[in-house]
């Protein structure tokens, strides 16, 4: 027997990717600078690099049925439906230092 992922089933994974405080602030900054028509930003894991995956954050103009929606104080963070299984149990945070500025995931498992 196989389980089918439905929008209702994905909604039960509400805590799959917590947005840490710095990430929430980054979402707010991005939304303050968003192009007209943007309803949020979307986190996805496109295939690239040595590990095979990378994090990508892009503006979203429409909600897709299988994307996870996370409303934060600064704006809406969508998680790509195809990336959910890679991100379950992760805490996402925005990190800036002398060498990089990036969205990083910390696996809590």
Average pLDDT, the chain: 75
Q: Is 82 helix (H, G, I), strand (E, B) or coil?
A: coil
Q: What is the pLDDT of residues 25-80, one digit of tens each?
A: 888 988 999 999 999 999 888 887 776 777 788 899 999 999 989 888 889 989 89
| Sheet of strand 40-44: strand arrangement | 56-60, 40-44, 75-79, 68-72
What are φ and ψ of residue 42, in 5° steps?
A: -120, 130
Please report the pLDDT score of residue 19 as a whole number. 52
**Residue range 85-104: average pLDDT?**
70
11-to-7, 53, 61, 81, 96 alpha-carbon distances in Å = 6, 24, 20, 11, 31
Express as a percent the part of the chain with pLDDT over 70.
62
């Amino acid at each position: 027997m196989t389980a089918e992922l439905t929008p209702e089933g994905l909604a039960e994974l509400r805590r799959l990717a917590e947005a840490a405080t710095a990430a929430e602030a980054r979402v707010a900054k991005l939304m303050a600078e968003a192009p007209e028509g943007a309803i949020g930003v979307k986190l996805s894991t496109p295939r690239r690099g040595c590990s095979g995956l990378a994090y990508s954050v892009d503006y979203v103009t429409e909600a897709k049925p299988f994307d996870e929606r996370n409303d934060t104080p600064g704006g809406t963070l969508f998680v790509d439906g195809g990336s959910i299984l890679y991100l379950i149990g992760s805490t996402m945070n925005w990190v800036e230092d002398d060498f990089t500025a990036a969205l990083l995931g910390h696996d809590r498992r």
